[in-house]
Structure 1
């Protein structure tokens, strides 16, 4: 009996599949030939009884360097002078790792400051309320 199962793999809205396989299939998707941006991988599979199933998987290709912008968000309304920090880093260097410039400078989150203030305030409250000389007796 002949195996009539087939898997066709389409990229974005292409009419022709870039790959046609018999299951199970294992292949490598080379993203260096795909432009950066949003794409979809459409997989069409036919069973031996010719029943068709479709699965669509959205994904994003980013072969270029990661670009990070601090100080300006998407669709943000700004006025006056706005300081902006732009950082771009990628994986071009395979043999060494450069630490400087590999991370984005970020401010300490406000919830950490609030937690620190609460801990200090509780410590001061404890000292004021419970620190009396008669509670602490010397061994000497």
Structure 2
């Protein structure tokens, strides 16, 4: 037996997926996309890994891994060494997570939400447009 059975690996993935899917994380990831788009790739990747680790460090220690970059590397190595990456459910979870942690996807979604919000706000009636015309009509003396 191993200290990291497949059902634990799957639970870890489910927790990560839920955390990465959260509105809060998606907003932060989208913001990072725009804030770092002009940086050198190494610096951008560093900030990206730091953001991911903010989520990961809350989850992986419960499964016996340090909440550090090193702990994350060891976790990925364990998945590989134990053959879990060949499991169809693990693979599907990994694919889903790759979309959830895509800076491009989150950045574009953030921009779309901002544009929709902008359109909604500008489409809102001005206070004076909400007043029915009859009320504004001044009676002739």
Q: What TM-score do you get using the length of structure 2 for normalisation?
A: 0.27
Give the number of the structure with larger relative contact order, counting CA–CA contacts within 8 Å between residues 6 or more apart.
2
Which of 1 and 2 has greater Rg?
A: 1
Q: What TM-score do you get using the length of structure 1 for normalisation?
A: 0.27
More helix by share: 2
More strand by share: 1
